[in-house]
Homo-oligomer: A and B are copies of this chain.
Amino acid sequence: MADDNPIRFGIIGCAEIARKVSRAIHKAPNSTLYAVASRSIEKAKQFAVKNGLSETVKIYGSYDELLDDPCVDAVYMPLPTSLHRHWGVLAAQKKKHLLLEKPTALDLDELDMILEACESNGVQFMDGSMWYHHPRTAKMKELLSDSQLFGQPKSIHSSSTYAPGPEFLEKDVRVKPELDALAQNSAGVILSCTACLNWDKEETVATFHCSFLSHETMDVAISGSNGSLHLEDFIIPYQESSASFDFTSGAKFVDLHIGWNVKPEKVQVASELPQEAMMVQEFARLVKGIRDSGCNPDSKWAKISRMTQLVLDAVKKSINIGFKPVCL
C-alpha cells in the first residue's frame, strides 16, 4: 500500500551495502528514495544506473549538497566508520533523521557526540542492524521471555565470520585502520576476535567470535534454565521469505542416558518484507511520527547502539591490556 507522503531518504555514500538498503527503501511502503550523494557526481550516477534507480532520484556530487536539500527527511549513511562522527553530527544539525550504518563509531565518545547531536536537534537515530527487525527475532524474543519454556538465561554464544579472501584483507575499507577498523598497535588491525562476557550477579555468560578469516557463520546458541535456542543464519537469513530457528524445552536424558526425551523443534517464521525493508519501515514510522504528528524521537535504538559500543570498547581495552578482564 503506497503512502502518499512517504519519508524521503537521502543516501550519503555509495558503499556496496547501500545497494541493499536502497532496495529496502524502495520496498518499505512508507519510504521513498529521494537523493543519492557521493564524493563525485560520476560515482553517484553510476550507483543510480547500476541499481536501476528512478530518474526522479536526485544525484549529488557532494554530501553537503544532499544535507542542504530541505526535501530530504532522513539520511542513510553507509560511510566508513571514521567519517561517522563528522557527517553524522552534521546531518543531525541539518535536522536530518539518521539511519547510520554499523559499526556506528570508532568509540563511545564519538558515538555520544552523534547521539547528542541527534537528541539536541530532535531527530531520530537508528543504526543499520537489520536482524533486530525480522519477525523471527520477535518470535525468538517471545520464547526467550517465557519463564516456563525457557526460564532464566544462562549462556549465549554467537559468531559472525566470513572469509572474503586475501584481496579484501589488503584493500577493503574494513581493514584500513584510518577508515574503519580498530587498529591494534603496529601489528595492524584485528581480523579475528573472541570475547567472553560475564554478568556477575546473574550467573549468565556470553561469548562471541568475529572473524574475517573463517568460512561464513552466523550462529546464535542460547541456553536458559529450562530451554535452549539455536540458529545458524541470524544476521542474514538463508532466504528472504521465511526463516527458522531451533527451540528445545524441557529436554532430559532418557533412562540410562542413552538418548533424549525431545529433539529441537524447528520454528518457522514467514516475513512479508526483507528484514532490511522492515528496518527502514520502522525507522520511517518513527520519523513520520516526529515530522507529521509532533512525537518525540524514540531513544530505544540509541540505547541499543550505545550498549553495543560499550561492549566493543571494553573488548578493545581488554586486548590492549593483555587480555585481562575489564569491568563495566
- With A155-B211, A159-B223, A217-B223 as contacts: A232 and B194 at CB distance below 8 Å: no
Q: Are B207 and A214 in contact (CB under 8 A)?
A: no
A69-77, A83-91, A233-241: which lies at the B interface? Answer: A233-241
Q: Are A236 and B259 in contact (CB under 8 A)?
A: yes
Q: CA separation between A199 and B260, bound complex, in Å?
A: 34
Q: Which residues of B contact A215 (CB under 8 A)?
A: 151, 154, 223-228, 248-249, 251
Q: Which residues of B contact A253 (CB under 8 A)?
A: 162, 216, 236
A201: CB under 8 A from chain B? no
Q: Which residues of B contact A20 (CB under 8 A)?
A: 256-258
A23: CB under 8 A from chain B? yes
Q: CA separation between A108 and B272, bound complex, in Å?
A: 57
Q: CA separation between A217 and B258, bound complex, in Å?
A: 15
Q: Are A207 and B196 in contact (CB under 8 A)?
A: yes
- Report the nearest B residue to A251, measured CB to CB: B216
Q: CA separation between A57 and B51, bound complex, in Å?
A: 78
- Tell me which of B155, B192, B274 contacts A203 (CB under 8 A): B192
- Tell me which of B17, B151, B232 contacts A257 (CB under 8 A): B17
Q: CA separation between A143 and B163, bound complex, in Å?
A: 19
Q: Which of A226, A228, A233 has the most CB of B within 10 A?
A: A228
Q: CA separation between A157 and B196, bound complex, in Å?
A: 12
* Secondary structure type dominating chain A contacts: mixed
A221: CB under 8 A from chain B? yes
Q: CA separation between A311 and B168, bound complex, in Å?
A: 35
**Segment 194-208 of A: residues with Cβ below 8 Å from B:** 194, 196, 198, 203, 205, 207
Q: CA separation between A256 and B17, bound complex, in Å?
A: 7
Q: Which residues of B contact A209 (CB under 8 A)?
A: 155, 157, 205, 207
Q: CA separation between A263 and B231, bound complex, in Å?
A: 12
Q: Are A228 and B257 in contact (CB under 8 A)?
A: no
Bitwise, A139-157 to B at CB < 8 A (1) or not (0) is 0000000000001001101
Q: CA separation between A216 and B226, bound complex, in Å?
A: 8
Q: Are B214 and A157 in contact (CB under 8 A)?
A: no
Q: Which residues of B contact A248 (CB under 8 A)?
A: 215-216, 232
Whole-angstrom distance between the Cβ of A221 and the nearest chain B Cβ: 5
The 4 closest A-B CB pairs, nearest first, are A154-B214, A216-B251, A214-B223, A194-B205
Please list the residues of chain A having a beta carbon within 8 angstroms of any beta carbon in chain B. Answer: 17, 19-20, 23, 151, 154-155, 157, 159, 161-163, 192, 194, 196, 198, 203, 205, 207, 209, 211, 213-217, 219, 221, 223-228, 230, 232-233, 236-240, 246, 248-249, 251-253, 256-260, 263-264, 274, 276, 322-325
Q: Can you spell out 29 A-B residue pairs with CB atoms less than 8 angstroms apart?
A: A20-B256, A20-B258, A154-B161, A154-B214, A155-B194, A192-B203, A194-B207, A203-B213, A214-B223, A214-B225, A214-B228, A215-B225, A215-B226, A215-B227, A215-B251, A216-B248, A216-B251, A216-B252, A219-B221, A230-B232, A232-B264, A236-B253, A236-B260, A238-B259, A238-B260, A238-B263, A258-B274, A258-B276, A323-B324
